[in-house]
Chains A and B, each alone.
Chain A
């Protein structure tokens, strides 16, 4: 069955430190891949997306993600987190027009 897995339910990071969120997918063919962010009490906002081409994708708010076909991964990174990056992050994959989300990773930023 197709699936999107985010292995880390919860991550705590110090402000100014780097952040990496993991995402693995299981699909027959490479799907479209996305990262969304959800701030408390809000809907989701698209951070970045990968369709094809360059495997390093730049997004909004200083985030980037790297697609690795050999590992079926699409990990999200930020070199230096800000307190405002505290949120829940969702990886998603689209195959045949239906978007499937991972369970999410909650990011806590400490001073």
Chain B
């Protein structure tokens, strides 16, 4: 059972480039989310989804887009990367049947992004 899989693990971009961070889970979880982790700031919620076709903004959504066409996948898109988006990104899913955490979040191993 793979759990939550993120790719790539490392990426270096130049300012203005675009890219997509991939996230897939094989646990049939309805809830999926993206966080960014920065030193001294913990994890901050970027976007989340309570099911296929439904997405919503978190605490820091600017500069990021998401879509949820299937239950399994929740890609995060950076349309025009900026140095402020240098961070470690985590995808997480939850089995909560309320469609939101109230239960355990299962995390991927993270994707480290550097924007030059």
Contact = CB atoms under 8 A, between A and B. Distances in A.
Interface of A: 4, 9, 32, 36, 41-46, 49, 51, 90, 94, 96-104
Main secondary structure, interface of A, reads strand
A105 B50 CA distance: 30
B41 interface: yes
Contacts of B50: 97
Contacts of A41: 109-110
Interface residues of B, number: 27
A103 B102 contact: no
Contacts of A96: 100
B90 A103 contact: no
Interface of B: 4, 33, 35, 40-45, 48, 50, 58-59, 90, 92, 98-105, 107-110
Question: Closest 6 interchain pairs by CB?
Answer: A97-B100, A43-B107, A101-B42, A101-B43, A103-B42, A46-B104
Contacts, number: 61
A55 B4 CA distance: 31
B25 to A, nearest CB: 12
B109 to A, nearest CB: 5
A11 to B, nearest CB: 15
A98 B100 contact: yes
A51 B58 contact: no
